[in-house]
Each structure stands twice: as structure tokens, then as C-alpha cells.
Amino acid sequence: MKAIILLLSVFLFICLGCFSQDPGDLFTSYGSDGISTFDYLGFDQVAYDMKIQEDDKVVIAGKSGSNTLIARFHPNGNLDQTFGELGKVIIDVGGNDYATCVDIHEFNEHRIVVCGNCNDDDVFILQLLQDGTIDNAFGVDGVNIIFTGMMLLEDALIQDGGKTIMVGMNQTVAYQEGVIYRFDATGIPDESFGDAGSVRFHHDDYDVAFLTVDIQDDGKIVAGGGIFNDDEMNAFVNRYNTDGSTDNTFGDQGSYIFDLSGDLNFISALKVYPDNKVVFGGDVYNIAATTHDIYLSRLTPDGNIDYSFGANGHVTYDFSDDELYDIYLRENMKILVCGSVDDDLFLMRTMENGSPDYNFGEGAFVLTDVFGGNDEARSIGVQSDLNIVIAGSAGHPGDDKDVVTAKYYSGLHVGIKDIGKENALIVYPVPASESINIVIPGKSNNSCLVELYSSNSQKVHSVEEAINDPVLEISDLNLPDGIYYLKAYYNGNIFTSKIVIMR
């Protein structure tokens, strides 16, 4: 019995790491006590976007002075000096240029696509190899500049197949319109999309700006932002078919426009659930009351308000001097939000219905002051250990800014996953007692057969369950303490994991 207890203790220590940390605590083995900063020659350095590679390296894109900056960090927060010049790539694309978006080609040698603004009114797209060198086979000598005249890029991502979607706004003589561009995998405008590679959205009485975009599993494009004139701004979400045509089955003829009881409302981030619900958030201003809050809301798959979320589909969070920049959906559908509150890095976690998750941080949120200046968390992601990484800028008291990444202990889904194995599962909690939760990969209406084996390969539990939710609960285990091996037969594949039972 002592041997079993010792084995379980060692196993849990290896799997859970620093188990004494509370959800929302800085992950102390990352960077310097959970925070990693980067400065170069005293210029202002800002990370506007971040993506985490399959190997857990953190890639950021932003600006260094008046040039575009891409940097890569090891999983522990140290600069990856095998990337570019000692961990960084600085490119003068033209004018006062900066990158707003970065994404990783999962099926093209993990090449790094970077999009941004240049020459004051133009946009660019470029591609880097994994070592940070420019891919000269992409675009025109590695870079494609779109001479739009009055374009501002806000968000971008890579679709399946390697095509890149970019969204933003374009100023015409008569009005400001929202615009979506699509580029093929070689960096050339995809003329099969919309009108010669672009889609425009304008309103006769309002200006329009796309600020954020996500892609459904079926390839449909969901974009949101603000529609405004001199007196008001309202938030909106549009959905487009894969060819760029309006999806008239969504909302009111492809669009959902709403007012959150404020003078100025807009969407700064949105994400699509596996079932095609859309969660989004941003800022709501009330000029008369001089209030400024952040909010989350959710739409049904057909583009109508989801009244099961928050109060009548919305939740407003009252912080002082707050900005919401990014949203991330966890495997169990909890929502992560990052931004800036009171000039500090801001990280919040909510339940699936938008209510605060009071098990996280201090009252569901965490504030981190880096140098005592103006800090902003612009992007959020999760590493394979299921802990949270944010990226942005850390201001010094004199307004100089450094790139900052910070890692936080999640305390959520601390399951056992065989990293690097294609058919590994995430299973939680650890340890378990009477039940376990299995994160189901992909989507299907099929059932899942789950088998548990003891350490001496004896089958001790077997159950087949219908898949009605992204997380499958297996209850009434009634097993002795020990280490067990799980097999899940699903969609023609066999998935595996280890679990620990401790009552």
C-alpha cells in the first residue's frame, strides 16, 4: 500500500507540476516569476497578436519603433535565439509599419503568416519560415503589399487549406466600409472569393468597420465590428459563405446588429463554438453617465440572440478604465478574456453562460502590473499543459513600452494528455474519484465507447455513451485507488489516456 501511495504521489507531481498554485496565479517557472519581457534598443515594443505553436513556442507579432516585429519565445518564456536574429525578426515593410496579426500554417511546414499595416494607408501580408527567414516564394519576394489608399487591417487568420482571411476597414470618397480580403496559400489575392478576392460591407447611413473574424468548421466566415455615425455606434456580426457571398440564413439577411443600451458599442473579439454559436465581446460606452464597461454576448447558430447566455443574451462587467482585446474558448466551454483594466494586464474567466468563474483569480479575474506603466494584454492562448499565456505590452512610467508575455496557472482541465501522441485525450479531474470528464475531439453525432484498464491490463469498466456535448462525463466508476488506462473508440479512431483514481 505504501508503494502504491508513493507511486501515485510521484505520478501526480510529474503530471501536475506546481499543484499548490491557485487558478489565476502567475506560473512561476515561466520567464521571471511568470512574466517575460522583451526590449530592443529602447524603441517602443508592442505585441498585438500571438499564436502558440504545436511545440508550445510562443510567436508574437507587433511593432518595434516604426517597423514590424516578430519574435518567438521558448515554452518557458525565454527568447528562442534560433529564430531570426537572436529570437526576433524586424522588417521595414514601408512607412510606419506594424503587424496586427500572426498565424501558423499547421499543414505547410508550420510557416508563419504575418499581416499588418504599412505606408499609413496600405496593408501587407508576408510569410516566414520556421527559422525566421522570409519565404521569398510567398507573395512578391516574400511580401505582398495591397495599395488600398485608405485601408486599416484589424484581424486575420488562416483557413483550412492555407488561405488567409483579413478583415478591416476601407475609406472611400463617400463612406467607410468594412472589407474582407482572402489570399491563397502563395500570398496572392484569391479571385474565387467575393469580387476578385475581397468582400465589401457598407451602409447608406453609417460607417462600418470589421474588427474581428473567426471561421466555422464548415468554412463559413463570421466577422464582427462596429457600425456608426456621429451620434452612435452599434455592434454587428455578419456571416459569409465560403465563396464570400452573404449567408442569408444568419440573422437578418446575413447580419445581426444590436445596441447594448449604450451610446457606443462595438465588437473587438469573437469566437465560434463547435456548434456554431458565436460568443463575442467588446466595450460599451454611455456618454451621459460617463460609464465604460466591457461585455460578452452570444448568438445562436442561426444568428439570433442566445437568451440562455447571461441576462437576455448579454453580460456586462463593470471595471474602471477597461478594454477587452481577445477571447479564448476552453475545452469545457469556459471563456477566457484578456485586455486592460486600470492600466494593468487583465485576465478573466467566465462560466459557459457568461457568469463569473469565482474559482479563478480574485473574483474571476486577475490584474498584473508589470513596470508601473500602462499595460495591455492583447492576445491570449493556451499551451499543451493547459495553462494560459497572454501577450501584449508593458509600459514603463515614462510611457516606453516593452513586449510582454505572461503565463497563468489555469487549475482547469488539468488532465493527463500524452503530449506528442496524435490520438491522446484530455481527461479531468486529476485525481478523479467517482467520475471523469473526457474532452471529445472534433464533432460527430456518433456514440463513444469508453473502456478502462487496470495497471495489469484487466478491463475494469466499459460504457458506450451518445455524444451530445464536447465534454463526455463518465460517472459511477466505483474503482479502487490506482492508475488506470483509458481507451475511447470514436469516429473510427482509438484515443488513449491515463487517469488516476483517488478517493
- Report pLDDT digits (tens) over 29-66: 999 999 999 988 878 899 999 999 988 999 999 999 99
Q: Are residues 149 and 58 in the same domain?
A: yes
Among 408, 439, 454, residue at a domain's last position:
408
Which CATH number characterizes residue 390's domain? 2.120.10.30
Q: Are residues 372 and 425 in the same domain?
A: no
Examine residue 446 and state whether it is found in any structural domain, yes or no: yes
Lowest mean pLDDT among 36-45, 368-377, 385-394: 36-45
Q: Are residues 283 and 166 in the same domain?
A: yes
Q: What single string gives the DSSP state of each residue in 127-183?
A: EE-TTS-B-TTTTBTTEEEE--SSEEEEEEEEPTTS-EEEEEEEE-SS-EEEEEEEE
Query: How far is 109 from 127, CA to CA, in rounded Å?
Result: 12
Q: Are residues 218 and 259 in the same domain?
A: yes
CA dist list (Å): 169 to 121, 176, 199, 371, 464: 11, 7, 11, 34, 50
Calculate the CA 432 to chain-centre distance: 29
> Which of the pair, 114 or 418, is modelled with greater confidence?
114
Q: Are residues 192 and 292 in the same domain?
A: yes
Nearest CA among 90, 94, 96 for reference residue 144: 94
Examine residue 3 and state whether it is found in any structural domain, yes or no: no
Examine residue 11 and state whether it is found in any structural domain, yes or no: no
What's the domain range around 221? 22-408
Three-class SS state of 3: helix
DSSP bridge partners of 305: 299
Q: Are residues 390 and 428 in the same domain?
A: no
pLDDT value at residue 481: 82
Count helices and strands in the chain by DSSP H and E runs? 1, 35
Q: Are residues 232 and 381 in the same domain?
A: yes
Mean pLDDT of the chain: 86
Q: Are residues 459 and 366 in the same domain?
A: no
Q: Is residue 2 over pLDDT 60?
A: no
Q: Are residues 380 and 419 in the same domain?
A: no
pLDDT value at residue 455: 63
Asked if the bond preceding 441 is cis, omega within 30° of 0, the reply is no
Among 408, 438, 454, residue at a domain's last position:
408
pLDDT digits (tens, 9 = 90+) for 300-342: 999 999 999 998 899 989 887 789 999 999 866 789 999 999 9
Examine residue 5 and state whether it is found in any structural domain, yes or no: no
Amino acid letter at 385? D
Domain total of the chain? 2
- The pairing of strands 35-38 and 291-299 is unpaired
pLDDT digits (tens, 9 = 90+) for 191-224: 999 999 999 998 878 889 999 999 998 999 999 9
Query: How far is 377 from 35, CA to CA, in rounded Å?
Result: 12
Model confidence at 125, pLDDT cuts 50, 70, 90, reads very high
Examine residue 447 and state whether it is found in any structural domain, yes or no: yes
Lowest mean pLDDT among 261-265, 344-348, 431-435: 261-265
Q: Are residues 123 and 147 in the same domain?
A: yes
Amino acid letter at 51? K
Examine residue 1 and state whether it is found in any structural domain, yes or no: no
pLDDT value at residue 415: 44
| Furthest C-alpha separation in the chain | 79
Three-class SS state of 423: coil
C-alpha cell at position 103:
498565424
C-alpha cell at position 37:
519581457
Cβ neighbours of residue 259 closer than 8 Å, sequence gap 6 or more: 232, 234, 235, 265
Cβ neighbours of residue 336 closer than 8 Å, sequence gap 6 or more: 327, 328, 329, 330, 347, 348, 349, 380, 382, 388
Q: Are residues 365 and 480 in the same domain?
A: no
pLDDT value at residue 422: 44
Examine residue 13 and state whether it is found in any structural domain, yes or no: no
Q: Is 147 exposed, middle or buried (0-12, 13-18, 19+ CB in 10 A)?
A: exposed
Q: Are residues 141 and 246 in the same domain?
A: yes
Examine residue 6 and state whether it is found in any structural domain, yes or no: no
Q: SS3 helix, strand, coil % of the chain, rounded to 5?
A: 5, 50, 45
- Burial pattern 439-463, b for ≥16 Cβ within 10 A else e, equals bbbeeeeeebebbbeeeeeeebbee
Which CATH number characterizes residue 479's domain? 2.60.40.3080
C-alpha cell at position 432:
478523479
Nearest CA among 429, 388, 384, 423 for reference residue 406: 388
Look at the block and give the residue holding cell 465534454. Answer: 471
Lowest mean pLDDT among 100-114, 146-160, 186-200, 485-499: 485-499
Q: Is residue 347 over pLDDT 80?
A: yes
| Helix or strand holding residue 462 (H, E) | strand 459-466
Model confidence at 20, pLDDT cuts 50, 70, 90, reads low
Among 408, 441, 462, residue at a domain's last position:
408
Output DSSP code: residue 12. Answer: H
